Amino acid sequence: MRRVHVPSQLRSYTGGRAEVEADGDTLDAVLLDLDRRFPGFRFRVIDEQDRIRRHILLFVGSERSGELGAALPPGAEVHVIGALSGG
């Protein structure tokens, strides 16, 4: 299990929790597990062609990642962040 930080925009899926736990050795696996735990979560972050949505940033530790399939270091935390947009 690894820790996932959830942005405010997605906390309606996590019962208001800013941090949750999920299984997975890749970002894709983590997001699929999050979707099992919190149905609907993944589609708000990843589109139907498996692209990270334009205004969403994914970090592994403090490194921004655009590779859903890349292996995650053991214990690395995942941050899902809503990028600067809106107004």
Partner 1 sequence: MPLSLYVATRKGVWIASAAGSRRSFTLTGPSFLGQQCHHVVLDPRDRRTLLCASRQWHLGPTVFRSEDGGATWKEAEAPPRFPTGEPRGRAVDHVFWLTPGHASEPGVWYAGTSPQGLFRSEDGGRSWAPVSGFNDHPDQAAWVGSDKDQTPDGGKLHSVLVDPRDPAHLYLSMSGGGTFESRDRGAGWSPLNLGVAMDFAPPKEDGSEYTYGHDPHCVVLAPSRPDRLWQQNHCGLYRIDRPSDRWVRVGRNMPADVGDIGFPIVVHPRDPDTAWAFPMDGTNDWPRTPPGGRPAVFRTRDAGATWERRAEGFPAGQAWWTVRRQCLVGDTRDPVGLYFGTTSGQVWASDDEGESFRLLFGDLPQIHAISVAESA
DSSP per position, 7-32: -GGGTTTTTT-SEEEE--SBHHHHHH
Q: Is 47 in the site for partner 1 (CB under 8 A)?
A: yes
Residue pair 28/68 in contact by the 8 Å Cβ criterion = yes
Cα–chain-centroid distance for residue 17? 14
Q: How far apart are CA 62 and CA 46, in angstroms?
A: 20
Pick 36 or 55: Cβ nearer partner 1: 55
Q: Is 69 in the site for partner 1 (CB under 8 A)?
A: no
Query: Of the listed pieces 14-22, 24-32, 36-44, 63-71, which binds partner 1 according to CB under 8 A?
Result: 36-44
Q: Is 36 in the site for partner 1 (CB under 8 A)?
A: no
The single-letter code of the amino acid at 33 is D
Least distance to partner 1, CB of residue 11, Å: 11
Query: Of the listed pieces 3-11, 15-23, 28-36, 62-70, which binds partner 1 according to CB under 8 A?
Result: 3-11
